[in-house]
Each structure stands twice: as C-alpha cells, then as structure tokens.
Amino acid sequence: MTWALPLPVVVPLVAAALATAGDHLLPRRLGDAIGVAGAAGGFAFSLVILLASEKHTQLTWFGGWKPRGGAAIGVAFVADPLGAGLAALASGLVLASILYSWSFLRDAGRPYDVLMLLFGGAMAGFALTGDIFNMFVWFELMGVAAYALAGFEVSQVGPLQGAINFAVSNTVGAYFILTGIALLYARTGALNLADIGHSLAGHRPDGLIIVALTLLVCGFLIKAAVAPFHLWLADAHAVAPAPVCVLFSGVMVVVGLLGVTRCYWTVFDASLAPQAHDVRSVLVALGIFTALLGAVMAFLQRHLKRLLAYSTISHMGIALVGVALLDERSLGGAADLLLAHGLLKASLFLCCGILLVRFEDIDELRLHGKGRALPVLGVMFGLGAVALSGLPYVGTYLGHAQIDEGAALDGIDWVQPLLMIAAGVSSAAILRAGARVFLGWGPTSDPLLSPEPSESPPERSASMPALLGVTAVVLVLGLAVSVAPGLGQRVEQAAGRARDRIAYVDRVLRSRETPSPRPPVAIEATTTDSVLYGIGGVVIALGLALVGLYRRRLPELVLGPLRAALGPPIALLRAAHSGVIGDYVAWITVGTAVVGGVWALLLRR
C-alpha cells in the first residue's frame, strides 16, 4: 500500500499542472474533466489509505531514503487513521466544492479549479507528512492557494481587505512555526517528528522547549482561528465565494488543530508528559473562551457567511477543548465533532451560495421572508443548524458526548455546561437567521446586528438541481456521523494511536508494526448526562433564536436590565473586531506572549 501514500497529494498537483498547461490549448470541457478527475483521484486514494491505515500505520520514505542507524535521513509520509481521515475529508470537500462550482461559478476560469486542487493537495500533504519542515511547506502551499482564493472577487474593497488580513495573519503564524522548528532543530538536529520526539524523551523542559511549544501551538492556533488569534477568519469567510468557504470552515481550520495534536503527541509529550496538566489547563481555557466568544459574535451578525464563520470559530473552541484534555476519548470526540461540523457547515455554506444565486443577496434582514420560495432549501438549512447544536444522535452530538465524557473522566466537570451553552448560542444564531429568511419571522430591522456594507455579487446563472444535489449529499453525510455504526469506536481507536508516541517511533524509525484490533461495529453508546446536555443545547438554541427574533415583545422589566448588562461588553467586542490588520497582529502578539508567559511560569516547576 505504501506506493499509494504520496498520491492524495501528487494526483491533485499533477492535475493542476495539466489543467494549467492545457488552459489555452485544450477544449474547456476537457480542462474541467481534468480538474474533477484530479480531485476525485485524490479523494479515492485518501480513502484507500484511510482503510489501510486502520490496520497498520502506513509509511513511505521519499526517494527511498530509509533511516540509517535509527535516525531519519529523508522525508516520510506516515499515515495514521487520524491524518488519513483528515486527508480524506479535505479531498472529499474539494471534490464537492469543484462539482458545486461547476454551476455556481461558471465564469471563474481555469485558475479557480487549479487553486482548489493545490489547496486540497496541500492539506492532504500536511495531514500525511511525518516531517516537521515538510509540514511547514504544505502549510505554506495551503496558505498561498487560500489567500488567492479569498481575494478571488477583486471588484470590491471588502474582499481585498479580507484577503490581506488573512494573508498577513497567517504568514506571521507561519514564521512563528518556522522559528519553533528551528529551535527544535537546534536542540535535536532532526526534522523527522519521531526523531525529534525520541531525542527529547526524558529531558526536562527548559526555555527552548517551552518557547518552541508556544510558537508552534500559537502558530497553528492562528490557522485554527482560536481566540485571540481568530480575527482574520470572519473577514476571509465573508469575502470568499461560498464553495471556498466550505474548504476554509470545513477543513482548513481543522488542519491547524491537527498541527497542534501532531506536534504535541509526537514531539512535546516526550518532554512534557509529567507537566501535561499545565499544558491542558491553558489550552482548555483558550478553547472555552473561543467557544463562547465565537458563539456570541455569531449571534451579532446578519451577513450569513460571516455568521457561519463565527459559528465555526465557536466550534473550533469546542474541538480545542477536546484536543486539550489530552485523553483518548476527548481527542476522538474532537475528531468526530470536526468531521460532523465540517460536513454540516459545508452544507450550510452551500445553502448560502444558493441564496446568493437566487436572490443576489446574503443579508439576513434584506432576505426577510424571501426564502419562502425555496422550502426545500429552508428544510436543509434548518436541519444543518439543529444538527450543529448537539441534538442527541444527530450530527455533532457524538463528538460532544465523547468530549463531555472525557472531561468527566479527567475530573473537569464545569466544562460540559459551558460547551453546551456555546453550541446552543451559535446554533441559535443560525436558526434565527434561518427563521427570518425562510419563514419570514421577526422584524425586518434589528439594530443589534452588525451593519454590513451592501455588496452586489457578480451575476450568476446556475442549475438549481445540481447545487441542491451536492448540498443535500454533504448534509446527509454530516447528519449521519453520530449514528454511523462503529464510527465512534474507530475514531477513538485512531485517536489512541495518534497519542501513542512509542508506537509511532517504533513504526517510523524501526519499521516495527503494531497491528490494531478491529473495533466492534455498533452505534456508540453515550451516557445520560450527554443526552441531557444535548437536549439542553437544543433548548437553548430554539429559545434564544426566538428571543433574537421577538426580543421587542419582552416586557421592558426584562429588556432594560438586559440591555444595560450586555450593551457595553457587546460594544467592546465589536470594537475589538476592527478589521484592521495592525490590531490583529497586535492581538496575536499579546496572545502568544501571554500563553508563553503562563507556560513559562507553570512548566518550569
């Protein structure tokens, strides 16, 4: 199987080169076919690798440069199920986006497909590589393709500013990562993840290790849009075409979390395992903060893509908690959550694209009631929103339940209600928007929501059944995540393997294979607590959505104090999300200095 390992990356890249070379020579339909074939090939090979990796971790050394004397020489792709799963999610969503774009952006031209393919190939490369500098290379390719895609519609200032904010923030993050890589290389003289971890094993953490951890984690958290590093994300989403948003929200941010997971468990765990508690507390705090902040900001938006973008930030916070708890069940939960979220959020963005095609607008208030003409789309939108709230056995529920149980096992029992509130509030925002657009509920004006510059989208002609078809397929897959038999157990086993540094080193440097037992095929059982939290999330979502719509019908006795209590913090939050790149980089510096400072105090003990 090792021969297939480079192919999820190589096939899209070759297709991109071919499509570019033939752009002026080949008939247009043939060029389209090359694009789809590249994406489909990448997806197919990712699935093949995912299935193979469940039995054994797959390994290939580029150029045949095998390790000598127990130390790596070349660059390896190491596919464990978690990485291969992300590669499959990424290439699958690229395929869906390209198919959707066929009728959504007919005039986009060849460069659009090519950039999508490069974006997908780079994400797969990042997910599969076992070398820390190679991670940086794919990270940058992913970034460069994404910046160009974000600024794709260059006729307005908004998209350009969004793309610049995105490019500068993420480039700063990339340099943090590179500095962290340089520090690890200075200490260990190695770039292979297994090698670095092996050299660090048993050494107490000093300044170099702690700062390398800080730089790598903060660099990846910029990509993962975790507060206070998240400011670029809503700008980039607000401006990118809907199918591009699918990739940004569905997988690109997930890549950031995989970066944190991979680096922690293959490298830093070797040195920091005794102080894992302190690593955990800082990351859990960041995750909770992000989950709540993103949810509140989502509730304040009226631009649908921006609203969904903030909801993504909230879910990234929840997933970070899963990663940060550092146990097998929570990490598996984060993976399940991100899988369901990626698919569901993708389908919601695709719904927005359809609204844009039909009504040439994407503003919640201006679209008031117009969605009544599209009942099928309304149902899909509503299902997506409810499935994100954690309704038992639907969509993201499984991930939530696993994270909740992980937190309970770790003895951190205050986390679950906060995560429930975050999921509820961000779903409430989506439900409120859906009710206003598709049911015509609530007033047509609301001063609470952020004013948006009106933008006229370019004219589009599209085949509605094709768009609805792609959207429906993605939605159904997302809804089914929580009830797919055996999925929970398999993902948890995958998470366990991603955490097993010793087995990883054995596999990569000593070619020793540890086969995994086959997990049982059954729907994952969850605790009563999780079911209650899930129901709670839905109740919050529905209740708050109604409050958002009919706030003015509340008695002044309730409304007055509410306004007094929430007004100033909301104004402050808005001011912080200023859209100015200088502010964003200032917040990145603040966040990195604080995280690094806290770890410097805690981890040296």
Partner 1 sequence: MTRRVRIGLFLPALAGFGALLVWAYTGIPSFGDYQGPYGFVLEKISAPLRHMDNVVNATTYDIRGIDTMGEEFILFAAVIGVVLLLRDDAGRSQDVEDDIGSDVVRVFGTLAIGAAILVGLWLVANGFVTPGGGFQGGVAIASGGLLLYLVAGYREWSAFGNETVLDPIKAIGAGGYVVIGLAALVGGLPFLTNFFGGGDIGTVWSGGSAGFVNWSAGIEVAAANVLLFSEFLEEYIVPIARGS
Partner 2 sequence: MSFLPYAVAAWVCIVGIYGIVTSRNLIHLALCLTVMQSSTYLLLLAIGYVKGGGPPIYKGVKLGTKSVDPVVQALTLTDIVVSVTVIALILALALDVHKQAGTVDPDEIREMRG
State the residues that interact with partner 2 by CB under 8 A. 133, 137, 140, 143-144, 147-148, 151, 154-158, 160-165, 167-168, 171-172, 174-175, 178-179, 182, 185-186, 191, 234-235, 238, 300-301, 450-451, 453, 574, 577-582, 585-586, 589
**Quick one: which of 142, 139, 212 has its CA closest to 174?**
139
Q: Rule CB under 8 A: is residue 185 a binding residue for partner 1?
A: yes
Q: Which does 122 bind (CB under 5 to 8 A by kind): partner 2, partner 1, none?
A: partner 1
Among residues 195 and 328, whose Cβ is nearest to partner 1? 195
201-234 CB burial, b ≥16 within 10 A, e <16: eeeebeeebbbbbbbbbbbbbbbbbbbbbbbbbb
User: What is the helix (H) or strand (E) element at residue 428, kind and residue range?
Assistant: helix 415-434
Least gap, CB of 350 to partner 1 (angstroms): 23
Q: Which does 16 bind (CB under 5 to 8 A by kind): partner 1, partner 2, none?
A: partner 1
Q: Which does 164 bind (CB under 5 to 8 A by kind): partner 1, partner 2, none?
A: partner 2
Q: Rule CB under 8 A: is residue 511 a binding residue for partner 1?
A: no
447 to 7, 302, 337, 362, 571: CA distances (angstroms): 51, 10, 33, 18, 12
**Which residues touch 422 (CB under 8 Å, ≥6 apart)?**
288, 291, 292, 294, 295, 314, 317, 318
Q: Among 179-187, 299-307, 519-527, 558-566, which window interacts with partner 1 (CB under 8 A)?
A: 179-187
Among residues 47 and 137, whose Cβ is nearest to partner 1? 137
3-class state of residue 120 by DSSP: helix
Among 1, 137, 472, 602, contact with partner 1 (rule: CB under 8 A) = 137
Among residues 61 and 265, whose Cβ is nearest to partner 1? 61
Among residues 22 and 469, whose Cβ is nearest to partner 1? 22
Among 36, 37, 140, 370, contact with partner 1 (rule: CB under 8 A) = 140
Among residues 62 and 393, whose Cβ is nearest to partner 1? 62
Among residues 334 and 588, whose Cβ is nearest to partner 1? 588
Among residues 247 and 415, whose Cβ is nearest to partner 2? 247
Q: CA 174, CA 425: separation in Å to the nearest integer?
A: 32
Least gap, CB of 449 to partner 2 (angstroms): 9
Among residues 519 and 579, whose Cβ is nearest to partner 1? 579
Q: Which does 600 bind (CB under 5 to 8 A by kind): partner 1, partner 2, none?
A: partner 1
**Quick one: which of 460, 465, 478 has its CA closest to 89?**
478
Q: Is the dihedral of CA 311, 315, 316, 320 positive or negative?
A: positive
96 to 44, 103, 388: CA distances (angstroms): 13, 12, 20
3-class state of residue 332 by DSSP: helix
Residue type (1 letter), 61: W
Least gap, CB of 561 to partner 1 (angstroms): 28
Among residues 68 and 553, whose Cβ is nearest to partner 1? 68
Among 78, 82, 99, 141, contact with partner 1 (rule: CB under 8 A) = 141
**Quick one: which of 58, 77, 60, 71 has its CA closest to 195?**
71
Q: Return the CA Rg of the chain.
A: 23
Instruction: Give the alpha-carbon dihedral of 464, 437, 448, 549, to 10 degrees.
Output: -150
Q: What angle is formed at CA 253 by the lines to CA 451 and CA 208, rounded to 5 degrees?
A: 120
Among residues 297 and 421, whose Cβ is nearest to partner 1? 297
Among residues 208 and 562, whose Cβ is nearest to partner 1? 208
Q: Rule CB under 8 A: is residue 583 a binding residue for partner 1?
A: yes
* The two structure tokens encoding residue 201: 């094993």
Q: Which does 208 bind (CB under 5 to 8 A by kind): partner 2, partner 1, none?
A: partner 1
Among 95, 145, 263, 351, contact with partner 1 (rule: CB under 8 A) = 145
Q: CA 136, CA 138: separation in Å to the nearest integer?
A: 6
Q: Rule CB under 8 A: is residue 568 a binding residue for partner 1?
A: no
User: Within a 13 Å sphere around the CA of 485, how many CA atoms are in the beta-carbon half?
Assistant: 3
Among residues 235 and 524, whose Cβ is nearest to partner 2? 235
Least gap, CB of 4 to partner 1 (angstroms): 9
Do the Cβ atoms of 301 and 548 come closer than 8 Å? Answer: no
Among 27, 63, 447, 453, contact with partner 1 (rule: CB under 8 A) = 63
Q: Rule CB under 8 A: is residue 580 a binding residue for partner 1?
A: yes
Among 61, 265, 381, 397, contact with partner 1 (rule: CB under 8 A) = 61
Least gap, CB of 174 to partner 2 (angstroms): 8
Q: Which does 393 bind (CB under 5 to 8 A by kind): partner 1, partner 2, none?
A: none
Whose structure tokens read 């192919």? 7
Among residues 62 and 359, whose Cβ is nearest to partner 1? 62
Q: Rule CB under 8 A: is residue 402 a binding residue for partner 1?
A: no
> What interhelical angle do 397-409 and 528-550 show, nearest 10?
120
Q: Which does 209 bind (CB under 5 to 8 A by kind): partner 1, partner 2, none?
A: partner 1
Q: Which does 61 bind (CB under 5 to 8 A by kind): partner 1, partner 2, none?
A: partner 1
Q: Rule CB under 8 A: is residue 360 a binding residue for partner 1?
A: no
**Which residues touch 141 (CB under 8 Å, ≥6 apart)?**
118, 121, 122, 125
Q: Which does 206 bind (CB under 5 to 8 A by kind): partner 2, partner 1, none?
A: partner 1
Q: CA 193, CA 262: separation in Å to the nearest integer?
A: 9
Among 60, 301, 516, 530, contact with partner 1 (rule: CB under 8 A) = 60
**Segment 190 to 209, residues that bind partner 1, using CB under 8 A:** 190-191, 206-209
**Segment 5 to 34, residues that bind partner 1, using CB under 8 A:** 5-6, 10, 13-14, 16-18, 20-25
**Quick one: which of 283, 282, 280, 316 has its CA closest to 297?**
316
Q: Is 249 exposed, middle or buried (0-12, 13-18, 19+ CB in 10 A)?
A: buried
Do the Cβ atoms of 395 and 385 come closer than 8 Å? Answer: no
Q: Rule CB under 8 A: is residue 212 a binding residue for partner 1?
A: yes
**Segment 67 to 126, residues that bind partner 1, using CB under 8 A:** 68, 71, 73-75, 111, 114-115, 118, 121-122, 125
3-class state of residue 58 by DSSP: strand
